[in-house]
Amino acid sequence: MKTLLLRIALYCLAATALPAAETPAQAALNLAEALRDGSARDVVIAQSALNPDTGDRKKGVIFETWKSESKKMLPLPFTVAAEKINGDCAAVVLHQYDPLRSELPHFISFAIVRQAPHAAEEKKTAPAEPEWFAAPVPASFENSVVSYDDAVLQSRRQLESWMLSREIELREKIQQDIKQQLQERITRAVSPEALAALDPKALMNAFIQALREKNHAAVLAYLGGHSADSVINWDNISFRINKLFQGNDLRQWPWKLFADTQSMFAVSDPLDLGDELSLDVLVLHPESISEEPDYLSISILKDPQGRNYISLPSIFSQNEAAEDELGEIMDYDDIGHMQLFAQIVADAKAHLGNADLSQSAEVAKIILQCLKNNDFRRYWAINACNLKNLRAYEEGTSVSFWQELQGKTGSSLFGQVGLKEHEDFALLVLQTYSPRDNSGMQLKSIWLNRRNDTWHITGTEAPEEGVPELTKWFADEKKSWIANWSDSMLGDVAKIGGLAAKGPDLAEVTRIFFAWQKDLQEKSFTKVITHCAAFDDPTSSLKMLRALAGELIYGTGTIEVLKVTVSGRWAGVSAVQSSGEAMKSSQYPLFLFVHTDKGPRLLPQVELKLNAVKNRSREYLNDIAIKDLGKRLPDGAVDELRSLYTNHAKLVEEKTAIKP
């Protein structure tokens, strides 16, 4: 019965115009691309020469192999690296590689057989022109067309052997090419002469800057890339840095200490240890598990040409270094450490400018600005001004309190709704919205204390001695504070009662869309909402925020604009959104724009998305979203939107159609 179902599936898929592979190379590309793009299993099966009589256990193994192979694939096109044809059998070697990206090349080989099309097999019609299909098991003819002909079997064994040896040859050649190209990139990023001119301290500062700019080649240059042959474990270093720029390791400890622009650091003068120099580095990061800066000891070595290069501590080579187990903090009894900490404090204070910390309103303003702009340095400086003897633990909660307010995403929204003083205490009340909290608006209390005529932050808890005048004020006002979204939080959102009589300008829509995308990549909720509009009611504001929260959390990968169109009072950006993850298919969102007093703005609360493969649930949700607008807009406006959506659906159908 299962074999029959597989045959029926093959027939049905063939009837929907699956591509006919006229060459072995095309057959290999068909299967590889289906795996890379996360196509449905039936689609992948139809792209292969999987024998319908294959047993369930073996099919399970094959499906697991497909899943495993797809995870190894890169979000890049495939190139035919080699092809060999022998009668009705062939072998094809594919690879993915882009010299401008950091990824190592990925190879996959397929055995190819020529057979009748799936549809012809099931219909039992007159013989059709044979087509090429890739065997289901990579680099093997297993579980494809069965043959008992000795000559055919011998030919297949030769092709399998050729695939393996050819892949090895090509891999070695490309890896040599990569090394040469990488060396050229290193030289372009940092010339040997420029490297030679850097003293140890300047070298460390340049290395940190390169990490923050995500300059892969420059990072390698500062780690010894100009003299790779003489650097111990260079291949491991190069591989680690390559992996670093592929994934999220730059956001993980210890790399985030240097790579995150929110970190504050200070570098010591070099200490001569004879065969090497040593630098002490203190780094204060907003996600640190302690209030004190991390301490790192960095070695500076010389290559045969006398140029300095950095040798990082072993924790930087580990895949999952545990901060709580391997991290070190500054030593308050070390004079050198205290001097570096003084530099961090002075740098933070400099960012306060001429702020008057004797005024609670000024301190509240700075706190709100810092939270909105994710500016840890300036926030931390408020309490740094009250440090005695430069001992950070006297304040004790500056870092942990920042984490409580911002979370690890650093992308929450904030708006001030109240501030009241009583003697040497003040209470600042903020509205907040976190993209990871679906409960909606929250209130945050921030207590301030005046000491030596300067206000500083104490936390969210009321002082132990109690300040009933302020706690009563909070209780009396709380209901009004949560009734509506404050202008302090959502004032940059364009509020609309209906639609303008004219549609948005296409050029401006395109500009705003790309600006919105840029701010999404930066995970800046405060900036993202400046490009948005919402209907003027609390429910619409919450819908907008929830839609944007989804984009901030899950909207990774890449977006390609397919078309920008206008339909009456609407404009739409048709796009394809790829996650970059194997086995996850692309989505095709339609981003809606309306004209407002502030110009064209995105209307995020109306989410219209389509999938590469038709999905009735998704189409139903789209229909509901359009119908909901009919409750507040005239029929003409809804009809214009339906026309825009229909054209988007046709565009998606054209883009996803499998062409013969």
Phi/psi of residue 16, each to 5°? -95, 30
Query: What integer is the mean pLDDT of 62-83?
Result: 91
Q: What is the pLDDT of residue 309?
A: 97
Mapping DSSP to helix (H, G, I), strand (E, B) and coil, where does residue 188 land? helix
Q: Is 124 left (phi over 0), alpha (psi -120 to 50) or beta?
A: left
Which whole number is the average pLDDT over 640-645? 94
CA–CA dist 418, 526 (Å, integer): 20
The residue-averaged pLDDT of 263-291 equals: 95
* pLDDT, averaged across the chain: 88
Structural domains of the chain in order of their starting residue, each with its CATH number = 2-181 (no CATH), 190-340 (3.10.450.50), 351-487 (3.10.450.50), 494-656 (3.10.450)
* Percent with pLDDT over 70 in the chain: 90
Residue 311 has pLDDT above 90, yes or no: yes
Q: What's the pLDDT score for residue 521?
A: 84
Q: 86: which strand partners?
A: 89
The CA distance from 405 to 401, in Å, is 6
CA 607, distance to chain mean position in Å, is: 21
Confidence of residue 391 (pLDDT cuts 50, 70, 90): low
The pLDDT score that the predictor gives to residue 146 is 82
Kindly tell me if the per-residue pLDDT of 2 is higher than 50: no
- pLDDT number for residue 178: 81
Q: Give the pTM.
A: 0.74
pLDDT grade for 6, boundaries at 50, 70 and 90: very low
Helices (H), 135-286: 150-189, 192-196, 200-212, 216-222, 234-246, 255-259
Residue 457's Cβ-count burial label (10 Å; 0-12, 13-18, 19+) is buried
- Rounded alpha-carbon distances, angstroms, from residue 270 to 86, 298, 307, 331, 346: 66, 10, 15, 18, 21
